[in-house]
Amino acid sequence: MKVLVIGKGGREHAIAHAASKSPLVDQLYAAPGNPGTAQIAENVAISDSDVEGLLRFAKEKAIDLTIVGPEHTLALGVVDAFEKEGLKIFGPTKAAAQVESSKEFAKKIMMKYGIPTAAYQSFENKEEAIAYVKEQGAPIVVKEDGLKAGKGVTVAQSVEEATEALEIAFAQEGGKVVIEECLRGFEFSLICFVCNETVIPMEIAQDHKCAYDGDQGPNTGGMGVYSPVRRITPEIIEETMKTIMRPMAHAMVQEGVPFTGFLYGGLMLTENGVKTIEFNARFGDPEAEVILPRLKSDFVDVIQQVMAQQECKLDWSDDVTLGVVLASAGYPASSTKGAVIKGLDALDAQVYHMGTAMKDGELVTDGGRVLIVVTQAKTLEEAYAKTYAEIKKIDCDCLFYRNDIGKKDMN
Ligand code: AMP
Ligand code: GLY
């Protein structure tokens, strides 16, 4: 098979890595890919926003299967365009991708089908939004509508903080927000392979969204992650599948927007059971970087079976994977580019490239989140020790990372 992976981050590096292990794959392309995917696939210089260019390439090369990484490519309608030309592509249509791109679309379906989630109200008027926050009190959550790469969310601990977030949201053109009840509990991610009503769960991962140790600082795209998550037992997973993931796939079929692709449940284990924080229309990043290395089944074969709507059982390694993100100084507010990274060859770990580039023959930083270092071990404690020991071998003075990934789940 000829397989194309669309995207250029750590998630796409992990997806390409999993696909590269499949005996079904003869030729693997990444568009545009990154210096990491270049080691396992052929990078093609087509932007992940250039739907026409991607389509032309896939037709020209007679690509048998395309796997979409990023949400913005989905929101641009890449799946609709490929399907129209009869090309096989794993991802949701533009309409189905709204489960992520529009908070309101997702909330309306959850309410209609009784899928547990935080109470909410949406606003297009700043004064009304501020009045609502004052009436509800803190803590309260303010979310800008639309794709924000995990950054348009403020979990406000005071009315003042919420008001400030509203001022920022409404200062933008066409400002629209969703204000939500603040859920308390233990957060986890459950990602499923989905095609219509076929829903196959993967193993659980826990992301760390805040920039700094102790869950302090601004929300980011994710600073570190591990899998599996001890506290999320098979019973809890079954409850989540029964009350959230399968009902959502069913609801989308009922609503005429059937979902194909990776359906990501951002979930909270609360005192009153599991509740949905959000759905994403694609694999999590950095979740993919710790979940996929544990998958022993043939990744490409699984996607094909799911697309044929066949139930299949996934085979997983019992090991724990733990990944720590190295981000550019200043992330998420700003980021520096072009700092030289040395020492990666010495690492006894899987390193996925999130935001790197080659410049004058050297690897340099090229974005907010730069690398994720992942190791695998028998226990979470061992994986923690191993990943942090390996990170120390990286030589770059413009990077920072959290020191407490996985700590909350240790005894
Ligand atoms: P989202 O972009 O919706 O995933 O939100 C980013 C992060 O904000 C989540 O991963 C949670 O940690 C937090 N968050 C979002 N919504 C809520 C909520 N209703 N209650 C508590 N925390 C939330
Ligand atoms: N890790 C969070 C996300 O991919 O949205």
Q: Band the pLDDT of 8: cuts 50, 70, 90.
A: very high
Among 23-32, 94-103, 381-390, the range scoring the smallest mean pLDDT is 94-103
pLDDT for 150 equals: 54
- CA pair distance 196, 199, nearest whole angstrom: 8
- Which value, to the nearest 10 degrees, does the dihedral of the CA atoms of residues 161, 164, 168, 171 take? 160
- CA pair distance 66, 46, nearest whole angstrom: 14
> Between 152 and 318, whose confidence is greater?
318
What is the distance in A from the centroid of ligand 1 to the CA of 153? 7
Question: Do the beta carbons of residue 19 and residue 25 sit within 8 Å?
Answer: yes
pLDDT for 145 equals: 77
pLDDT for 387 equals: 98
pTM value is 0.94
Question: Do the beta carbons of residue 139 and residue 130 sit within 8 Å?
Answer: no
Which helix or strand (DSSP H or E) is residue 280 part of? strand 273-280
For residues 332-341, give the mean pLDDT. Answer: 92
pLDDT, tens digit, 9 for 90 and up, residues 138-185: 999 998 876 665 567 889 999 999 999 999 999 877 778 989 999 999
Read off φ and ψ for residue 165, nearest 5 degrees: -65, -35
Q: Band the pLDDT of 101: cuts 50, 70, 90.
A: confident
Among 201-205, 254-258, 330-334, the range scoring the smallest mean pLDDT is 330-334
Counting ligand 1 atoms within 8 A of each CB, the residue from 278, 282, 287 with the most, and so the one to mutate, is 278
Nearest C-alpha neighbor of 102 from the set 168, 151, 153, 147: 147
Return the residue matching tokens 């929300």.
219
**Cβ-proximal residues to 295 (8 Å cutoff; 6+ apart), any chain:** 18, 202, 302, 314, 315, 316, 317
Counting ligand 2 atoms within 8 A of each CB, the residue from 264, 268, 324 with the most, and so the one to mutate, is 264
Report which protein residue has its CA nearest ligand 2's atom 3.
284
Read off φ and ψ for residue 260, nearest 5 degrees: -125, 135
**Beta carbon of 284 within 6 Å of any ligand 1 atom:** no
Amino acid identity at 174: G
Q: Is the dihedral of CA 295, 300, 306, 312 positive or negative?
A: negative
What is the distance in A from the centroid of ligand 2 to the CA of 65? 24
Counting ligand 2 atoms within 8 A of each CB, the residue from 101, 103, 268, 285 with the most, and so the one to mutate, is 285
pLDDT, tens digit, 9 for 90 and up, residues 46-96: 999 999 999 999 999 999 999 999 999 999 999 999 999 999 999 999 999
